Amino acid sequence: MSARLSQGGIDFVLDEVAGALVIRYWGPTITGGLAGIPFERTIPNSDFDRMQNPGVMREHSRGWLGYPTISGHRNGANWSTQFTVTSLKGDSESVTAILDDSSAQLQIEYNFQLDHFGVLKAQATIVNLGAAYTLNEFFYWLPLPGRATQSLDFAGRWSKERNPQRREIAIGRWVRDSFEGRSGHNFTIGEIALTPETSFASGEAWSVALAWSGDSQYCIEKNYENEISIGASQIIRPGEVIIEKGGSHRAPEMLASYSSEGLDGLAQNYHRYVRNRQKHPRKARPLTLNLWEAIYFNHDEAKINTLIDIAAEAGIERVVIDDGWFGSRRSDRSGLGDWIVSAQVWPNGLKGIADRIHDKGMEFGLWFEGEMVNPDSELYRSRPDWILREGSRTPPLWRHELVLDLTNRDAFEYVLEGISNVIARNDVDYIKWDHNRVLADAGSSGRAAYIGQTEAIYSLFDELKRRHSGLEIESCASGGARIDLGMIDHVDRFWTSDNNDALERQTIQRWTMQFIPPELLGTHIGPSPSHQTGRHLPLSFRAVTALFGHAGIEWDISAISKDDQSNLAAWISYYKSHRSLLHTGDMVRVDSDKENNLYGVISQDKKSAIFGYAQLQPAITSHPRKIYLRGLDPSKRYKVRVVTTFGAPEMMSITPPPWLIDGVEASGDALMKVGLPAPILRPANALLLELSAV
């Protein structure tokens, strides 16, 4: 039995060898297939007498001495398995293998799908045919070739998410795990293997990303036999998954991708896959005003009315009232869980404000954090037993919060009904849903409940959307702590980071976009000085930075200068007239030195493009590196114009290069190979370039 998936320039070849399912190949299409290539290896000294082919299941019983694919037992028995392929069926896009172990009384249904963007989707379901089986782990693995000698993933913390770490692959297992019960600020989104030469623009890259928002781990492994592989798994806590007789466990999907066109090629595969989903938001992404950094907990109807009027005047399309509108929530210390509009701060309710926003043609958004509860709340006082905990222990507080047990049907219904009522009564169009703490000691009825909690939030979001047609949801978790390819199927936007400092955002956005397309990432113009870093940054720089995403403003626009107001209005109208390009085009990031970020979006027909060129730090040389654009059609001629309608960058030179004022017309090839003389920008300034084919 064998199968070959071939799509989008990728081949994926499976073989049955002595009963084991073996992945023979995953990578760029092989002209002529694998026929004739020998797989039989030599037998080294001190080894099994015959060559072993452990295959995808990586079993001890088939001679695998490393980390296994499946781990589990039945009260200590059936700890070791030997699965045999009993069926391998499919076509060039999808194949399903059935693996049976009659002695362990287990079956695995393993499905692989390859789409025409080259994204390979793997999904395994473990079926138990015997008495209760405790599943400890199911790991997805894919083989890597010897030339994949480096790995790349992302680490971070609150307000500084997705910092790249690139390293040599050494013998052993490189693990990036997350035990927070949510994906986390330090969550990598995906694991990448690459060659030393791989850059944004060129070279090979292989990656995996799990469609899961709970605990997970990613791995790159090189074993003593020189086999290199990449994989991922959902983390299962002890005893969390016990499969009853006849039952099954569905492991979350793993989305793997390969590109020979660098990290941008890899990103493009994911972006295309994400954009092609039925659930991908099709409506133009509304320019958003989020009131958090404008008012924090100081809710005042008159002030908010003023902000709404200014917002409508400026062209804003969605106004989001953030934390502080409900219960006793006058600070983050109390009220969480009491989903009733506070009569203290909203004596007239929220409906009037919703109407005012709607009358002005905008959408109304409201903040929730439905999974959490403050101990100082009506909810906790009446239902202290509704929290996730182990035995009678109360988990340590984090931001004065505990986590509600959404696997408890009553707690789930309470949150669903409470929030659903607020949405219905106040015509809420959009909810920003936060998850401000980690899960710790998260048990329910004496068992770990991390997986159940993640599944519960997926179904709660789906039910809210089913009940309230057109409702959009933003996944926020103290900024970017719940951005992953699992949550992406249940929400319409991610809050990229609580850090609205544009200089920090340059890096955070650049790397979050490795997996998530810009239209799903919230990018706001924040105040100056930044509330997170205290840094003063010019509006033009903040505006260029926030343009490349689902743009918004998070700033008290009632207290800004007339100049800033008119620059904002110009930026808003620029965003609106260019978002269809920004949100459907191909993203490129140009490899440059540490001093600059150069990035852009090019339309599918390559007739138009928008580039941002940001000076991150002062250049060491008197002239910075030229601006070499990328992704253009070499044979087209382009007009390049500098957009300054919402403020010009500040320079450090006697004169700017003349093309900045007069524009340029040149071939795509010349713009990419010869480049444009770069202006000498002050640090934390940016240039916006607009290109149109002539």
DSSP letters spanning 594-618: TTEEEEEEE-TTSSEEEEEEEE-S-
Nearer to ligand GLA, 454 or 478 (CB): 478
What is the gyration radius of the CA atoms in the chain, in angstroms? 27
* Least distance in angstroms from the C-beta of 322 to ligand GLA: 5
Would you tell me which residues interact with ligand GLA (CB under 6 A)? Answer: 292, 322-323, 332, 367, 434, 436, 476, 478-479, 495, 498
Nearer to ligand GLA, 288 or 436 (CB): 436
Q: Do residues 524 and 288 make contact, with C-beta atoms less than 8 angstroms apart?
A: yes
* Least distance in angstroms from the C-beta of 401 to ligand GLA: 10
Measuring CA to CA, how many Å separate 369 from each of 39, 335, 381, 492?
54, 11, 18, 17
* Least distance in angstroms from the C-beta of 480 to ligand GLA: 9
- What's at 632, amino acid-wise? L
* Least distance in angstroms from the C-beta of 37 to ligand GLA: 52
Residue 241 and residue 449: Cα distance in Å, rounded? 9
Nearer to ligand GLA, 334 or 478 (CB): 478
* Least distance in angstroms from the C-beta of 566 to ligand GLA: 27
Residues sharing a CB contact under 8 Å with residue 514, sequence separation 6 or more, in sequence order: 154, 162, 189, 190, 192, 263, 266, 267, 270
Nearer to ligand GLA, 25 or 495 (CB): 495
Measuring CA to CA, how many Å separate 23 from each of 13, 39, 253, 259, 346?
6, 12, 17, 19, 61
* Least distance in angstroms from the C-beta of 331 to ligand GLA: 9
Nearer to ligand GLA, 326 or 495 (CB): 495
Q: Do residues 292 and 522 make contact, with C-beta atoms less than 8 angstroms apart?
A: no
Report which of 473, 466, 568, 580 is spatially closest to residue 526, judged by C-alpha positions: 568
Alpha carbon 107 to its chain centroid, in Å, reads 32
Residue 596 and residue 553: Cα distance in Å, rounded? 24
Nearer to ligand GLA, 259 or 478 (CB): 478
Chain residue at closest Cβ approach to ligand GLA: 323
Nearer to ligand GLA, 99 or 320 (CB): 320
User: Active-site positions?
Assistant: 434, 498
* Least distance in angstroms from the C-beta of 457 to ligand GLA: 16
Report which of 256, 214, 254 is spatially closest to residue 236, judged by C-alpha positions: 214
Measuring CA to CA, how many Å separate 358 from each of 361, 427, 432, 627?
5, 9, 18, 44
Per DSSP, the three-state class of 332 is coil
